[in-house]
Chains A and B, each alone.
Chain A
Amino acid sequence: MHGYGQYILKRLGQFVLVVFVGISITFFVTHLTPIDPVETTISAAAAFGSTSPEAIAMLRETLRELYGTEGNVIQQYVTFWGRILQGDFGPSLSAFPTPVSELIARALPWTIGLLVTATIIAWVLGNILGGLAGYYRSNVLLKMSGVLAMGLHPIPYYIVAFVLLILFAYVWPIFPLSGGYRMNLAPRWDATFILSVLYHSILPALSLILVGLGSWFMGMRALVSNIVTEDYVQYAELGGVNRRRILSRYVMRNALVPQMTGLAMSLGAIFNGAIITEEVFGYPGIGSLLVDAVHAGDYSLVLGITTISIVSVAAAVLIIDLAYPLLDPRVKVA
């Protein structure tokens, strides 16, 4: 296992590098914008009434320190890293003085709960159906599901989302129009609340699964129809090996290797999907938070959310990289 240890170290190094570079780029891009959050706050404060210049100067200094915008860009950059390493993204501007980290912590479970679950369900279902469809080529039911998946796939996600919303929340209102849970409930760990959360998540999850399923289905089916022509599959069939075993251990097992990479990439990218999903379904996650932050010019919040998504994408890739040698023995770990 010496080789594997080295491999882990190497991947960890890459992870740190990617996160560092990604966050640095985000930092400099946001600081290139002409908006100065300190001045924005001051003008907002000044708009309430006449304030003495001394008071404004003091406010400016306090805010500078609070926002980490003292000194030149390099000094700010150093302060920024010092804070980030402690998990501190500074206060949000639009919800001043609530810290950005608290806003994110509040929104993150919603996004992760909905999108990670939906992505994984779509992945599992798509792979199982695609694998079966690729292996049992002549099965009519599986052929039909292939046509369905292929028909659904090219429809833009927001159209699927709106159609579901119109059909099942307006025309035939069996699901709620928006929100993450019933308005008059307080977030708590009890059955009523959890059921309400599940109930509210059905439509957004369904939209994500319907659209996500298609690409996994087609990818897996294509992979499987290639793999069934491989010598080791044909040989196992000649050997009279149990068909279900061939499908699971020979065909699917080999197709899983590239599909895992795909899963990692889409898990890392859930924050992209979050924006549209959460806007359409009025879901209280990171996506809604990001859209609000952009509208409000709340750049510390934007920076915080971006940082979180960079770290999670890199982490997803890292986890898959670490799992890869276990999945495919041919991957060189040295």
Chain B
Amino acid sequence: MTTLTQPGAGAAMATPDASVRPVLSVEDLRAYYVLDLFGVKREVRAVDDISIRIMPNEIYGIAGESSSGKTSLIKTIAGAIQPPLTVVGGKVHFDFRGKSIDLYSGAPADLDAIRWRHLSYIMQGSMNVLNPVRRVRQAFIDFAARHIAAPSRRAFEEVVVAHLDRLHLSPHVLDAYPHELSGGMRQRVTIALATVCKPEFIIADEPTTALDVVVQKRVLAMIREVQREIGSSLLFVTHDMSVHANLCDRLGIMYAGRLVEEGATSDLFASPKHPYTQHLISSLPRIGDRTPREGLKGTPPNLADPPPGCRFHPRCPMAMEVCRTVVPPFVTAGKGRRVACFAAEPETIPDGIANATRSIAA
């Protein structure tokens, strides 16, 4: 196993068993949108210095507001980046059963061989991911037939039907065109499609965002059920904190392209350390609580020109002088917790900064 450059990111996160290797290790990953407009180079730092490890059978959630770089991060992890998004540094390493793969170092990896068999994807806007002019059956054949060893088309279809049946979907959906299915139905078909090969790692990018609450609940239940059944790891991305609270084992909070806090979901909700996390959680409605929710002032920074120091400091009620100039390191803060904040972890403030702890909050 490789060592991480950042302290505290040991293997013992959710699973204390050190012999279990993480399925995914992301190390110091930086992926920028490199724009070259008439000779003027601009970088949009959508993914900046992110390290994550995800264990087998774990549901890891990534939260953060819109344009915080969530989708860029998981596109990079999935090896689905296209210019101008380019990996500037860092590693994405998958350790599948019998097959490990480094995405951005060395020779271009043969991704097509691991896609769907080991790594599958439930995409944002899953409503439109099925080819409108072909039947659902064709999608299953195109995506899964090369991974499922079946002696004949018929045997393959039996596997598919058995899988649909497990997910309480009628085999008739195979004969339907995508437009003949409802939105929730299409989303469930997509989940069935993404899990039919029993992949070890599933990336789900806002799979429930476009759905109403009732359908959302059903879809989430289905995702969790199928994840348990096939024992895969799930990287789940949404801006909806209540979904995270219900689904994820561990949670990473993203702000402006950086991971600002990470921990087991229950710990994070019980005692958020980073001011941004505190805001996210206190903005959730609670039954019986009628006090007005306070919004966060300001807007997320422009990632082409992020503020120096901590990217959150212009909006942070606890900002200090040091936050303006120094990027807070992402350090271990308790069991399985990591946070990048000088206010939460004062011992990380470097020496020799004048008035380091003087508050600058207006």
B129 touches A232 (CB 8 A): yes
Q: Is A249 positioned at the interface, with any CB of B under 8 Å from its CB?
A: yes
Question: Total number of A-B contacts with CB less than 8 angstroms?
Answer: 67
In whole angstroms, how far apart are the Cα atoms of A172 and B167 in the complex?
Answer: 71
* B128 CB–A CB distance under 8 Å: yes
A253 touches B128 (CB 8 A): no
Closest to B190 in A: A235
- The distance from the CB of A284 to the nearest CB of chain B, in whole angstroms, is 42
Docked-complex contact B133 and A231, CB < 8 angstroms? no
A328 adjacent to chain B (CB < 8 Å):
yes
B351: min CB distance to chain A, Å: 47
Chain B: how many interface residues by the 8 Å CB criterion? 26
Q: Which of B78, B132, B179 contacts A238 (CB 8 A)?
A: B78
Known contacts A231-B123, A231-B125; decide if A239 and B132 are in contact (CB<8 Å).
no
Contact B120 A328 (CB under 8 A): no
CB within 8 Å of A: which of B98-126? 111-116, 120-121, 123, 125-126
- Given contacts A231-B123, A330-B177, are A254 and B115 in contact (CB under 8 A)? no
A245 to B112 Cα, complex, angstroms: 13
Q: Which of B111, B112, B142 has the largest count of A CB atoms less than 10 A from its CB?
A: B142
A257 close to chain B: CB less than 8 A: yes
- Assess the B142–A241 pair: CB atoms within 8 A: yes
Q: Which of A155-170 contact B (CB under 8 A)?
A: none
Residues of A within 8 A of B131 (CB): 232, 236, 249-250, 253-254
- Report the bound CA distance from A147 to B24 in whole Å: 45
A238 to B123, CA, bound (A): 9
Q: Is B80 an interface residue (CB 8 A)?
A: yes
Chain B contacts to A: CB under 8 angstroms = 78, 80, 111-116, 120-121, 123, 125-126, 128-134, 138, 142-143, 146, 177, 179
Q: A231-B123, A329-B177 are in contact. List 19 more A-B contacts (CB 8 A).
A: A232-B132, A235-B121, A235-B129, A235-B130, A236-B131, A238-B80, A238-B123, A239-B115, A239-B120, A239-B142, A240-B112, A240-B143, A241-B143, A242-B142, A242-B146, A249-B142, A327-B133, A329-B179, A330-B133
A residues with a Cβ closer than 8 A to B are 230-232, 234-242, 245, 249-250, 253-254, 257, 327-330
Interface CB pairs A-B, < 8 A, 15: A232-B130, A236-B131, A236-B143, A238-B78, A238-B80, A238-B115, A239-B142, A242-B142, A242-B146, A253-B131, A253-B133, A254-B131, A254-B132, A329-B177, A330-B133
